[in-house]
Structure 1
């Protein structure tokens, strides 16, 4: 049975933070933290970014599952897509997409990659 992961705390990235230091502080694996926050490049943390600290839900705790990280539409990158083309297609700016997806490399989109398109 696949375990369910919930956001047990929201953490704001500070100067000097690394994924390893955050994971050590909260006793979670780097892999779990990366998956919970869709982090693709662990060396590209942006100060001020809020991330979910994942954990398993205790059914007696009365916690609700974490809301999806994307406050907009999820778009799956297709062959030939560029960030500019995706922004234009959805009527948003490049900056808006990059702010909603702080861990993407705009010059290295991969087919199947999920992008958050903000409202």
Structure 2
């Protein structure tokens, strides 16, 4: 397994293309949940000779509440207010979500 250090301008796609690995394999090998949140200087492992029969399909974590689909123009504050829960509760239930980068179609867990 090779180790790669994230540089400015890198994307998972560009790294995968350079090493001839799939984005899915790279994400699974490094437990990357948000492919758009790469941090410069982070070291990641590049998998080699991955057996596709061993790859597991990623699963969505169970939501202990309501699953909400973000709509265009939504903010985390608006969603929290609409569902009568605190902003912190939504952020804790969705640790992989960047509250400043919500996009229409994203799924959020709204805790009970």
TM-score by length of 2: 0.51
Aligned length: 72
Q: Give the C-alpha shift of residue 40 in structure 1.
A: 1.9
Instruction: Give distance in 1, aligned partners of 2:71 and 2:87.
Output: 17
* Structure 2 gap segments, 5+ residues each: 1-23, 40-54
Q: Give the C-alpha shift of residue 29 in structure 1.
A: 2.6
2:33 equivalent among 1, 15, 39: 39
* Structure 1 gap segments, 5+ residues each: 1-27, 45-53, 57-65
> Runs (4+) of structure 1 moved beyond 3 Å?
30-34, 41-44
Tell me whether 1:90 sits opposite 2:91 in the alignment. no
* Larger strand percent: 1
* Match runs of 1:30-109 below 5 Å: 30-32=26-28, 39-41=33-35, 43=38, 55=56, 68-109=61-102
Instruction: Give distance in 2, aligned partners of 1:43 and 1:76.
Output: 24
Q: Give the C-alpha shift of residue 43 in structure 1.
A: 4.6
- Larger Rg: 1 or 2? 2
TM-score by length of 1: 0.49
Q: CA RMSD in A?
A: 3.1
